[in-house]
Amino acid sequence: MTAPSISLDELERDALTEIVNIGVSRAASNLRKMIGGEVLLSVPSIDVVSQRRAARLISEREVSELIAVRQDFEGAFSGRALLIFPETNSLELVRAVTGGELSVQEVLEMEVEALAETGNVILNSCLATMANMLKRSLNMTVPEVLRGTGNSLFEVDETTSSEGLVLFLYIDFAVRKHDIRGYIAMIMDLPSLATLKDLLDEFIARVVGEDG
């Protein structure tokens, strides 16, 4: 069975980019509140690629092991969102969000937890904002902290079909003051993509109005 080639046209891409922008802005603003430093965001990169390729796009970007907070969402459209850090950075983040309240020992003990909560705030605010814009609700799972490579985070192995396309969304963020950087990545499978397309069209219609 060949995968239907679903793609987003230019306007739909623009719309999705905007929506993601809004979501990520909110997330960045929250991260800013947690850390107290300037958070920079890149322009979101949006591609429809195979799951394998998505995994590779992440693993190619980093040499070291990755640590990620993963949250699945479902509703009108489903998928997986990841907040990814190179492992070397994660403690820096924990230190930043605990605001120097904890001892070094406590920071180490709390690492996973702190990451989970940070991920929770960021991913939730991002996804929730997006859901609001698209006027649909999503159910989110409790965030999980994982360690691994691009492949393991995206659950790609030899059995993964190279045809299964996903929407791969990727935003780079950096916290200059604390030398923290990471990515927000989202993947959505094709059926969800079809629904998403419809929702985007609705959004566009709302926004563009009679101008069309």
Partner 1 sequence: MTITVLIVDDSKLARIVAGKALAELQPDWQKIEASSAADALTLIASQPVDVALIDFNMVDKDGLELAEELRVSHPDLPMAIITANIQDEVIARARAVGATFVPKPVTADGLQGFLSGAALRLRATKA
Partner 2 sequence: MAESSYGGDQLRAILAAAGASGTWDWDIEADRLAVDQHFAELYGLTEPLNLAALPTATFFKAIHPDDRARMRIAVAGMVAGAEQFSKEFRVVTANGVNLWVHGRGQTHFDESDKPVRFTGLLVDVTARKRTEERLRVAQSAGGIGTFEYSDGFATATVSHEFCRLLGLYPASILPVPTINSVLKMKDGPCLIPESHHGGPPESLDGTFCIVRSEDGAERWIARRGEIVHEGPDGGYRLIGVIYDVTESKAQESELRELNDTLEARVENAISERSQVEEALRQAQKMEAVGNLTGGIAHDFNNLLTIILGNVDTAIRRLDGDTDPRVKRALDNAQKGAERAASLTQRLLAFSRRQPLTPKSIDAGRLLAGMSDLLTRSITESIAIQVTASDDLWVVEADPHQLENVILNLAVNARDAMQDGGALTIDARNVTVGPTHEHEVPAGSYVAVTVRDTGIGMSATTVAQVFDPFFTTKEVGKGTGLGLSMVYGFVKQSGGYIYIDSAPGFGTIVTLYLPRQFVASDEDAEDIPAAERGKPTETILVVEDDEDVRAYTVGIVRELGYRVIEAHDGASALKLFNGDQAISLLLTDVVMPRMSGSELAEAARRRQPELRVLYTSGYTRDAIMRDGKLETGVDLLSKPFTYTTLANKLRDVLDRSESNIVA
Cβ pair 69, 82 in contact under 8 A: yes
For residues 114 and 185, which CB has a smaller minimum distance to partner 1 in the complex? 114
Q: Is 195 in the site for partner 1 (CB under 8 A)?
A: no
User: What is the footprint of partner 1 within residues 25-84 (CB under 8 A)?
Assistant: 26, 30, 33-34
**Partner interacting with residue 207 (select from partner 2, partner 1, none; CB below 5-8 Å by kind):** partner 2
- Judged by beta carbon, residue 19 or residue 127, the one nearer partner 1 is 127
CA atoms within 13 A on the CB side of 10: 0
- Chosen residue from 114, 156, 167, 186 binding partner 1 by CB under 8 A: 114
Q: Which residues bind partner 2 (CB under 8 A)?
A: 10-11, 14-15, 17-19, 21-22, 25-26, 28-29, 38, 40-43, 45, 60-63, 86, 129, 133, 170, 172, 174-177, 179, 181-183, 203-204, 207-209, 211-212
Within residues 141-170, the interface with partner 1 by CB under 8 A covers 142-143
Note whether 122 binds partner 1 by CB under 8 A. Answer: yes
Residue 156 and residue 124: Cα distance in Å, rounded? 24
Q: Which residues bind partner 1 (CB under 8 A)?
A: 26, 30, 33-34, 97-99, 101, 110, 113-114, 116-118, 120-125, 127-129, 131-132, 137-138, 140, 142-143
